[in-house]
Structure 1
Amino acid sequence: MKRMMLLSAALSLVAGSAAAQSLPDLMKQMIAAWNKPTEPFRVIDNIYYVGTNGLASYLIATPQGHILIDTVMPESTAQIESSIGKLGFKVADIKYIINTHAHIDHTGGLAQIKQETGAQMVAGAKDVPLLEGGFYPGREEEKHLNFPPVKVDRAVREGDTVVLGGVTLTAHETPGHSPGCTSWTTSVKDGDATRSVIFFCSATVALNQLVGRPTYPGIVDDYKKTYAWAKTVHPDIMLAPHPEMYGMADKRAKIVAGEPSPFVRPGEFNAYLDRLETQFNEGLAKQTAALQSSK
């Protein structure tokens, strides 16, 4: 969370600055931390972490092929592919690529991996123009936020599913962070138990403008809808695009063969979303006050 807040602050410094031909040192440091390699590992059942040290990417392996959820920064695509190979899987066997939201730190390798594999690209319907245009909404002129455009093969909405090799992923519209921000739920085996899993999109304010000239129309209502929805779901396992969102490193260090999975944390998701809602309300109040004082 701290890294995301620092990066957002760095990006805000760059935004709109005529002198900003290169990224500030702080942003460079954050991106370096994001791109730092880490070893891939099995999270639980057939879900594997194949991202970098600071950005998550997940492989769901099945006998009929694999599902890849999110990529990372454009320059780190090779790390994802290497990690998949280290786990004994083939990049060529990826059948679906799913994107949770259309920001550069989660889309950088989509186009390349889609081209290499012929996998079907799946994303939230309202993020399709962003993915196919390769830009951050409301900041189209800020080229450092652009990413390689990718053609979306299937646009999903609430309740749509991706089914492969006995795995069913269900889409949930959780907009705000991006217009088509989409979270996905599924279930996994944990010994004799069945656990519910959420791949949460995000609900941080980040670079988004909420008032005045909002990042996109209806953004405030979208965030509120997402926070309301989050109170109705209670997953056993929370996964997300940034590993610090769910304490991935600490949990990973506690994995012991034959012992209960440290990733099973009922209630963690709801507590996290409660904190995000508080931060959102504070951010909305701050942006509103700044707008009023500027008039």
Structure 2
Amino acid sequence: MGRMALLGMSLVLGSTALLAQAASDDPLLKPIEPEFAQRWLTPQPATRIHGRTWLVGFGGLNVALIKTSAGLILIDGAVPQSVADLKANIRSAGFDIRDVRLILSTEPHYDHAGGLAALARDSGATVLASAPAVAVLRAGRSGADDPQMAWLPPLPSPARLRAVKDGETIRLGDTGVTAIATPGHTAGSMSWRWKSCEEGRCLPIVFASSLNPVAAPGYRFSDPAHAATVRSFRRSIARMKRLDCGILLSAHPDQSGGDAKLARFLQQPRPNPFVDARACRVYGERFEGLLDRKLAEETKASAADHDFQ
């Protein structure tokens, strides 16, 4: 290898090392649960799903991008260590992070909200979330009303936060996105709905928060102290089942079959496999069944413990 080639390689390696060092020194990019989170970060190409709606996230974490006449809207921000790849996906779609005006949050857990602070800083955008989620994002940590609180690490807090109400429509240019409260998985969980048009056909798109009844060890949904959380879950599930939903995108794509749909879409986009008027109902029914099973298992385990005593 010639001297110039060696010099070029040294410069590249040096630049890479400097970038890595800069990332490690940036508190907003400090990795959270890197080994565990890696399972969600399978690379995938930025993909236009319908009209001006894109997916720019990963195999296990959806991040949506909506192009409006007045800039971009992002939904969710994945984890801090994924921010550079997210911005690269946005660039590959032909956009710039500095054109993001709003970032909408589905839930204040690190896998969906860990990257919000860095993305908001780098874009100048405001992060919008439900009032309970804004409180968690400001504190950087979930409260006792979160079934997973005991095992959740802290996350960086975005500088610009604004609370939105259930049913409120957020407008940016020619696009309106409506907030749909879907608490349960977290007290502040919010789903988002907007209209997307393509070739004269307009469809309602829902980006759904998780409805998964998962909890840290020791937390029981069947505990009378948690009856309000179960009621929230049931209301959110019932609401999801009723939503007019031409396309469903879920925060974790595998929870709605979105991973399989994207694989088919990349092979054959027509007919669009994401278009499914039943998708929100099926999504709600799936987690209604999981919640029922969870409660039945807890009740059975409590009865067994009582019999043993």
Aligned partner of 2:123 in structure 1 is 117
Q: Show the counterpart of 2:63.
A: 57
Q: Which residue of 2 aligns with 1:205?
A: 213
Whether the aligned pair in 2 keeps the contact of 1:170 and 1:184 (CA below 8 Å) is yes
Q: Which of 192, 195, 205 is the aligned partner of 1:187? A: 195
Partner of 1:220: 230
Structure 2: which amino acid aligns with 1:174? T
Distance in 2 (alpha carbons) for counterparts of 1:170 and 1:113: 22
Q: 1:50-108 CA distances to partner (integer Å, 9 max, x unpaired)? A: 11221111111123110010011221111111100111101001000110011110011
C-alpha change, 1:213 and 1:102, in structure 2 (3 Å) is: farther
Give 1:98's aligned residue: 104
Q: What residue in structure 1 maps to residue 178 of structure 2?
A: 170
Aligned to 2:141: 135
Q: Secondary structure at the match of 2:89?
A: helix
CA–CA separation in structure 2 for the residues paired with 1:258 and 1:272:
22
* Structure-2 residue corresponding to 1:38: 44
Q: CA deviation at 1:191?
A: 2.1
Structure 1: which amino acid aligns with 2:199? G
Name stretches of at least 5 consecutive residues in structure 2 with no aligned partner.
1-31
| Distance in 2 between residues matched to 1:232 and 1:269, nearest whole Å | 8
In the alignment, which residue of structure 2 is the partner of 1:10?
none
Whichever residue aligns with residue 271 of structure 2, its letter is: P
More helix per residue = 2
Kept in 2, the 8 Å contact 1:123–1:152? The answer is no
Question: In 1, Cα distance between the equivalents of 2:172 and 2:81?
Answer: 29
TM-score w.r.t. the length of structure 1 is: 0.83
Q: Which residue of 1 aligns with 2:255?
A: 245
Partner of 2:288: 277
What is the Cα deviation at residue 137 of structure 1?
3.3
Runs of at least 5 residues in structure 1 that lack an aligned partner in the other structure: 1-21
Native 8 Å contact 1:77 1:108 kept in 2: no
CA–CA distance in 2 between the matches of 1:196 and 1:244? 20
- Tell me, what secondary structure is at the counterpart of 2:77? coil
Give the stretch that moved more between structures: 247-256 or 89-98. Answer: 247-256
Task: Report the CA distance between 1:151 and its aligned residue.
Answer: 4.3
CA distance in 2, matches of 1:294, 1:181: 33
Counterpart residue number, 1:79: 85
Quick check: 1:132–1:152 contact (8 Å CA) kept in 2? no
Q: Distance in 2 between matches of 1:49 and 1:187?
A: 16
Identity %, equivalent residues = 29
Q: Which residue of 2 aligns with 1:9?
A: none
1:285 Cα deviation after fit: 2.1
Residue 211 of structure 1 and its aligned partner are, at CA, apart by 3.5
Superposition TM-score, scaled by structure 2 size: 0.79
CA distance in 2, matches of 1:261, 1:55: 21
Asked whether the equivalents of residues 128 and 152 of structure 1 are also in contact (C-alpha less than 8 Å), the reply is no
Q: Name the CA distance, whole Å, in 1 between partners of 2:237 and 2:180.
A: 13
Aligned amino acid, residue 270 of structure 1: R
Q: Which runs of 4+ in 1 moved over 6 A?
A: none
Structure 1 CA distance for aligned equivalents of residues 126 and 158 of structure 2: 11
Task: Please tell me the root mean square deviation across aligned C-alpha atoms, in Å.
Answer: 2.4
* CA distances 1:260-281 after superposition (whole Å, capped 9, x unpaired): 3221011022012112101101
> C-alpha distance in 2, partners of 1:220/1:90?
41
Asked if 2 retains the 8 angstrom alpha-carbon contact of 1:35 and 1:73, the reply is no
Aligned to 1:260: 271
Change in Cα spacing, 1:213 to 1:119, as seen in structure 2 (3 Å) is farther
The answer to whether residue 292 in structure 2 is matched with residue 286 in structure 1 is no
CA distance in 1, matches of 2:155, 2:269: 42
